[in-house]
Amino acid sequence: MSHSYSLAYLTSNTLTPPQAIQLAAELGYRFVGLRLAPNAPGAPQQALIGRPDILRETLAAQRDTGVGVFDLEIIRIGEGFDPRASLPLLDAGAALKAKAVLVAGDDADTARLADSYARLCELMLPYGMTADLEFMPWTTVPDARTALGIVDAAGRPANAGILVDALHVARSGTSFDDLRALPRELLHYAQICDAPTSAQLGRAFTVEEMIHTARCERLLPGEGGIDLRGLFAALPADLPVSVEVPNETRLPQAGQPDWARQALAASRAVLELGA
């Protein structure tokens, strides 16, 4: 089955939202992902919130190309989380007709994290977007089993979701059986990339190494050691795929258009040509 592909922010982080949409259309992506809120204070993001001029340009690019916005980044749930702080992001998502918001869990109190997640889902319900909790091995939601536990503890809201990132599956101890155990209604999209595995390295990765790879040094699908075909075979065949391949060395060398083109071609080669 042919997947629909989204050009993730980390694969196109040199571009403004309208530029990302234009490039996605030229290359054959159906969607884009945008980072309209930073993943840490002072970290990079795409300007749009509070910029009606850029919002108008982005909406015009959507109308002209037919490329949609799939997911927005990022909402982080920490100890003092107030879901109302996310209202500007949610308002932007509603205007863009985004489908999902990426959520990270940082609160070490898992009961409080589940409660905060439930409150976020309740706030988001009128906006028509899902709250997709991404498990990452260095966070308090390190694997798929923990993510499912948080969502279940939150009462499994109607707009709840779990985001599967191939890199985090490989480095968290999440098994393909764990993926198959995730309820279909919680799966809205998955992220693809490649990387070396701990088996290839001969030891476990440090937290610092895992974070660096995730943000700065992923490989194109097919270049690393992750069993991507096995991983995606454990997920629904019609699941949209976000192509997330940040590489701070190779992206500038290739140039933004060619890197995004290579990333899409490599993803298709793994998921479709080898099927």
Parallel, antiparallel or unpaired: strands 130-134 and 100-105: parallel
DSSP structural state of residue 84: G
Count, residues in the chain: 275
Token output for 260 = 């995004």
Selection from 104, 243, 248, 227 nearest residue 169 by Cα: 227
Give residue-wise pLDDT tens across range 222-254. Answer: 999 999 999 999 999 999 999 999 999 999 999
DSSP letter at 205 equals: P
How high is the mean pLDDT of the chain?
A: 95
Structural domains in the chain?
5-273 (3.20.20.150)
* pTM to 2 decimal places: 0.95
The stretch 78-85 carries a mean pLDDT of 96
Query: Which whole number is the average pLDDT over 89-100?
Result: 98
**Is the pLDDT assigned to residue 275 strictly greater than 50?**
no
Whether residue 274 has pLDDT greater than 60: no
Structure tokens at 89: 């992001």
DSSP string computed for 22-70: HHHHHHT-SEEEEE-S-SSTT----S-TT-HHHHHHHHHHHHHH-PEEE
Question: What is the gyration radius of the CA atoms in the chain, in angstroms?
Answer: 17
Q: Do 143 and 105 meet the contact criterion of CB atoms below 8 Å apart?
A: no
Mean pLDDT of the 83-95 span: 97
